[in-house]
Amino acid sequence: MASVSEDIYSLLVPLEKERLVVPRSCVAEVVRYSVPTGGDTDRWLCGTLVWKNLDIPIVSFERLCGMSPPAPGGRTRIVVFNPLSRNDGTPYGILAEGFPQMVRVSREVLEVDQSYQMPPDSPIICRVRMLHEQALIPDLEMIEQHLCTALAGL
């Protein structure tokens, strides 16, 4: 009997000082950065961007976690995420500092970093070590909850 592969095709999304690791299926597209409209660059909700005829909210993951993000530059990209909750079905973007890198993640290469202290109330599940890489696993459901709350208040 053939064994079922438990590998998860994932993307390492570069931030300024960290990386996020997310399942590839969560990402719809990676697009070139353009300045979001109607937002505040000092807040975690940076505004909206038109993507495939939809106004999608753009999130600074670093700001949402209380970190200082870099100023957008030539390497900045927007990683468009498919929504996990199908309530409104609206995708959203997260600012990244470069193109995500495809990786295969399996139990054999993944280890939780027990020493990492997450900021309180942050959308981070944990930090993991994968061979020679470290990455944060974001809580995408929490990000979507923050977005729903923030967008309802507009």
Sign of the alpha-carbon dihedral angle for 132, 110, 124, 54: positive
C-alpha to C-alpha distance for 145 and 3, rounded to whole angstroms: 37
Instruction: Classify residue 86: in a domain, yes or no.
Output: yes
Residue ranges making up the domain that contains 79: 8-152
Instruction: Classify residue 2: in a domain, yes or no.
Output: no
C-alpha to C-alpha distance for 132 and 19, rounded to whole angstroms: 13
Domain count, the chain: 1
- 133 forms bridges with which residues in the sheet? 130
**Ordered DSSP codes for 30-41:** EEE--PPBS--T
Instruction: Classify residue 1: in a domain, yes or no.
Output: no
The encoded tokens of residue 96 equal: 């990244």
Q: Tens digit of pLDDT per residue, the chain (154 long)? A: 445 568 889 999 999 999 999 999 999 999 999 999 987 666 899 999 999 999 999 999 999 998 888 889 999 999 999 998 755 678 999 999 999 999 988 888 888 998 888 877 889 999 999 878 899 999 999 999 999 888 887 6
Q: What is the CATH number of the domain that holds 26?
A: 2.40.50.180
Instruction: Classify residue 26: in a domain, yes or no.
Output: yes
Instruction: Classify residue 34: in a domain, yes or no.
Output: yes
